[in-house]
Amino acid sequence: MDSAGLRELLTFYADAGVDEPLSETPANRFEETRIEAERRKESRPGADRTPAPAAKAQASPRAAPSAVVPDDAQAARAREIARGAETLEALREQLTAFDGCNLKTTAKNTVFADGNPAAPVMFVGEAPGRDEDIQGLPFVGRSGQLLDRMLTAIGLDRSSAYISNVIPWRPPGNRDPSPLETEICRPFIERHIELVAPKVLVTLGNPSTKLLLNTQTGIMRMRGNWAVHRTPSGLEIPTMPTLHPAYLLRNPAHKKLAWRDFLAIKLKLEGLGD
């Protein structure tokens, strides 16, 4: 900037009231304003010269109540409650009344299941999304609409399939459930599967596959290969891991992989006589 431009800039700042440079050390302008106000008060005629009493120490703000963080005891409690459910309706009631998972505090609804519990095939995803939380049903948003089309392609619909999730409450902001939250919910979905006793189980996506097949192998290696889910009572159910519809919406080129998995599911059901 040339000298003429610098002069114009300084003149602009001076006209705006900026008439001194910044200091190298920070200044408390609020404290300076208070001191100046006290000086003006003392300089007025008749002003009381006695020092003002010291201000009372400000009371420390009351600590906000902290959110209750679930612990391993809640997982043990969930196992006991789920084990005591003798019917699906009893399991639904106990899950709705369960208060040991903090996901429930932010969810609008407990998302239990949809479809026909007497169907030969059960699909299990991870957790409800926004639409599912509002309606209280699994897979009713965009990914659910894709799942419906995939079911139709192999001759199924919600009257001939049963659908649920590992997590019955929507995580806030659609974040991933924490490992402890998942562990607390595990007994309910395991008991859910046990009571339905499907002939074929389908795990949709990485989280449900890892949980229900007790594996750390990723879904891209697991998908398309039959595995076995073992319930707590020892029931063994043929299980097909496949890609989650939400993943397919983001990666449509992989729909061909899911199509192969669904054809394998169709063949398995036909081989079982259903």
Q: What is the pLDDT of residues 38-90, one digit of tens each?
A: 665 555 555 455 544 444 444 444 443 344 556 689 999 999 999 999 999 99
In a domain, 248, yes or no: yes
pLDDT in tens, 149-162: 999 999 999 999 99
Average pLDDT estimate for 106-124: 98
In a domain, 60, yes or no: no
How far from 243 is each of 137, 240, 249, 254, CA to CA, in Å? 20, 10, 10, 8
pLDDT of residue 273: 75
Question: Count of domains in the chain?
Answer: 1
In a domain, 193, yes or no: yes
Distance CA 78, CA 208 (A): 18
In a domain, 82, yes or no: yes
In a domain, 77, yes or no: yes
Q: What is the CATH number of the domain that holds 230?
A: 3.40.470.10
Whether 14 shows a pLDDT value over 90: the answer reads no
Residue 100 domain boundaries: 72-271
Confidence of residue 5 (pLDDT cuts 50, 70, 90): low
In a domain, 142, yes or no: yes
Confidence of residue 197 (pLDDT cuts 50, 70, 90): very high
Q: Which of 176, 172, 114 is nearest to 148 (CA)?
A: 114
- Residue 266 CB neighbours (<10 A): 16
pTM of the shown model: 0.74
Whether 247 shows a pLDDT value over 50: the answer reads yes
Q: Which of 238, 232, 253, 163 is nearest to 204 (CA)?
A: 163
Find the length of the chain. Answer: 274
In a domain, 26, yes or no: no
Show the tokens assigned to 274. 């259903």
In a domain, 90, yes or no: yes
Whether 3 shows a pLDDT value over 90: the answer reads no
Look-up of token digits 């290969």: 225
